[in-house]
């Protein structure tokens, strides 16, 4: 994989997002199996393991570059957002169903459709807007089928906060990835800062992090760190160098579909026909946006032009 900042082919970003979506789909499953660890402990372990791996990778590739004060500040904020996102998402999975937790978190594309034009000066196209609306309708169907909106508790509130935090994490990542910060450099620093934040929160709130875990919990913690965190989030951040934040955040909407599929044999959480209809709407939204992006990429490839992450245009 080519990790340096510079020129990106848009299709590589889309392929990376597809793999990332499958990796994200395992997140809720690993969390459900990690019954002995608190939300703060899980956040600390998944980030610390990922941080160590990315620091070693970035150092071996000499990607740990000196950052400007502005970049360091933004990476620090991004690290805080990622850590809080993980804490809120893990709380959501523990206090509500997998379907409700993952789908409520998935309102982030709606937030980004509003925030990106303001903060990133990236206009949301009509096709992206339609895709976001269709995806949101799908989210409503699935969430409504999950509990009929009869109750709104800690799990649902945590999921919405997780969506808020990941939206700002995505905006900062998009900005830095298109302004010369490489994937290993960005992820290594972000995971490291997130680890520190998670550790401080765990100590402050008295989480019993460093305790003995059985083999099931240990494997679940390691899996959570390596698959959705290290693989999924690193590929997601790589894609932000060439894919707009709004488009990139439609792919994680595939996560709850996969999580819900995994939850059927593992936890007996069977999706209803209404939820399946919501899944179909979400898949349609991703296809609508991605097919247009792929056509742009293909035209650029045939004409000999390359997508430049710094300008966000073909040159």
**Mean pLDDT on 264-291:** 79
Domain, as residue range, for 196:
10-314
| Residue 297 in domain | yes
For 37-41, 210-214, 221-225, 303-307, which range has the lowest pLDDT when averaged over its residues? 303-307
**Cα–Cα distance, 194 to 143 (Å, whole number):** 29
**Mean pLDDT on 133-140:** 83
Q: Choose between 135 and 4: higher pLDDT.
A: 135
- Confidence label for 147 from pLDDT (cuts 50, 70 and 90): low
**Cα–Cα distance, 98 to 26 (Å, whole number):** 11
| Residue 44 in domain | yes
How many CA atoms, within 13 angstroms, populate the side-chain half-sphere of residue 298? 6
**Cα–Cα distance, 247 to 236 (Å, whole number):** 11
| Residue 3 in domain | no
Domain count for the chain: 1
**Cα–Cα distance, 199 to 186 (Å, whole number):** 20
| Residue 2 in domain | no
**Mean pLDDT on 222-233:** 94
Residues in the chain, total: 315
| Residue 5 in domain | no
| Residue 25 in domain | yes
| Residue 188 in domain | yes
Whether the per-residue pLDDT at 302 is higher than 50: the answer is no
For 13-17, 232-236, 249-253, 310-314, which range has the lowest pLDDT when averaged over its residues? 310-314
The per-residue pLDDT for 307 is 34
The per-residue pLDDT for 243 is 87
| Residue 178 in domain | yes
Write out pLDDT tens, residues 167-209.
999 999 999 999 889 889 999 999 999 999 999 998 888 888 8
- Convert 85-110 into a string of H (helix), E (strand) and C (coil): HHHHHHHHHHHCCHHHHHHHHCCHHH
**Cα–Cα distance, 103 to 32 (Å, whole number):** 16
- Average pLDDT over the chain reads 81
The per-residue pLDDT for 295 is 46
Q: Is the backbone of residue 213 left (phi > 0), alpha (psi -120 to 50) or beta?
A: beta
Whether the per-residue pLDDT at 145 is higher than 80: the answer is no
| DSSP-derived 3-state class of residue 268 | coil
Write out pLDDT tens, residues 48-92.
999 999 999 988 888 888 889 999 999 999 999 999 998 898 888
Q: Both tokens of residue 27?
A: 């997140």
């Amino acid at each position: 994989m080519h990790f340096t900042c510079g020129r990106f082919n848009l299709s590589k970003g889309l392929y990376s997002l597809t793999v990332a979506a499958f990796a994200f789909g395992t997140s809720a499953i690993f969390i459900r199996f990690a019954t002995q660890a608190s939300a703060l402990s899980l956040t600390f372990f998944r980030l610390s393991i990922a941080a160590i791996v990315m620091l070693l990778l970035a150092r071996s590739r000499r990607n740990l570059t000196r950052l400007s004060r502005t970049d360091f500040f933004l990476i620090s904020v991004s690290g805080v957002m990622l850590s809080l996102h993980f804490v809120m998402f893990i709380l959501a999975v523990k206090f509500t169903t997998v379907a409700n937790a993952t789908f409520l978190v998935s309102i982030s594309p709606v937030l980004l459709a509003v925030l990106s034009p303001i903060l990133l000066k990236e206009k949301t196209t009509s096709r992206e807007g339609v895709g976001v609306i269709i995806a949101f309708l799908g989210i409503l169907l699935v969430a409504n089928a999950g509990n009929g909106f009869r109750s709104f508790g800690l799990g649902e509130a945590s999921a919405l906060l997780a969506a808020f935090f990941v939206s700002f994490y995505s905006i900062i990542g998009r900005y830095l990835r298109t302004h010369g910060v490489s994937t290993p450099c960005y992820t290594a620093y972000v995971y490291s800062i997130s680890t520190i934040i998670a550790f401080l929160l765990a100590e402050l709130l008295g989480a019993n992090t460093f305790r003995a875990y059985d083999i099931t919990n240990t494997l679940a913690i390691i899996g959570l760190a390596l698959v959705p965190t290290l693989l999924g989030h690193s590929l997601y951040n790589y894609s932000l160098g060439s894919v707009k934040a709004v488009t990139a955040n439609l792919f994680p909407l595939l996560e709850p579909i996969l999580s819900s599929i995994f939850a059927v044999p593992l936890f007996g959480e069977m999706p209803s026909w209404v939820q399946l209809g919501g899944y179909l709407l979400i898949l349609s939204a991703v296809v609508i946006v991605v097919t247009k992006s792929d056509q742009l990429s293909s035209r650029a490839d045939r004409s000999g032009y390359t997508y430049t992450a710094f300008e966000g245009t073909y040159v």
